[in-house]
Amino acid sequence: MKACRLTISKTLNMLLVVLGYVSIPLYMWERHAYTIEREKFQSALVAADAGRWYWNLDENEIFWDDQMFTLFGRVKGQWNPNNGGFDAIIHPEDRDRVNARILKAIEDRGGYQDIFRIVTSSGEVREIRAAAMVSRDGKYMTGINLPAIHRSGNFDSGMNTNRAGSSSHQDGPVPVLPEFDYTTDLEVEAESVQISG
């Protein structure tokens, strides 16, 4: 009986070692594939002059990547998007509309797309295109912003779409945002800087 237990124990140990040898290359391949996808995503953002952001709704903290500061005409470390900072740079004529639509997206745990104006620190007015999604659990909102150079019929200012596909847009049908896991690596990336105020 003791010899049988030893044989089973050795067999299990060998199986675990073999599984370890199989899982390490699998992990490395998955990590490599993730890295390639992340690089393609990052290249697309750079090509579009797009900045990424993440808003922890529970803590009310906003995280911006470097391109967001450039896009909004702010210097990283000298300006803070938290504690009303972001709200203050939205053009006064657009501020109430933008805030109402963002709150609606949070309430619906849905999508937010808009075109709005901001005022840079030099006083320049820029049009910004925004696309974001609230997490299913309502704990965060993440998105991208880019210069609103071209307007198209598919990206109209003021589209709010919930996960069920209904829209609060007034001018007819709008494209439904795809079901997708909108988690972001901004919250875990070492190169992203948390700005808290």
Beta-carbon contacts of 120 under 8 Å, excluding residues fewer than 6 positions away, are 72, 73, 74, 89, 126
Residue 99 CB coordination number (10 Å): 13
Are 74 and 100 in contact by the 8 Å Cβ rule? The answer is no
C-alpha span between 169 and 105 (Å, rounded) = 12
Mean pLDDT of 170-186: 39
First to last CA, the chain: 67
Residue of 142 and 84 predicted with greater confidence: 142
Q: What is the pLDDT of residues 9-47, one digit of tens each?
A: 666 666 566 556 656 666 676 777 777 887 877 777 777
The three-state secondary structure class of 13 is: helix
Q: What is the pLDDT of residues 47-97, one digit of tens each?
A: 778 899 999 999 999 999 989 999 999 998 888 888 888 899 999 999 999
Residue of 108 and 188 predicted with greater confidence: 108
Pairing of strands 125-134, 111-119: antiparallel
Q: What percent of the chain has pLDDT over 90?
A: 40
CA atoms within 13 A on the CB side of 179: 3
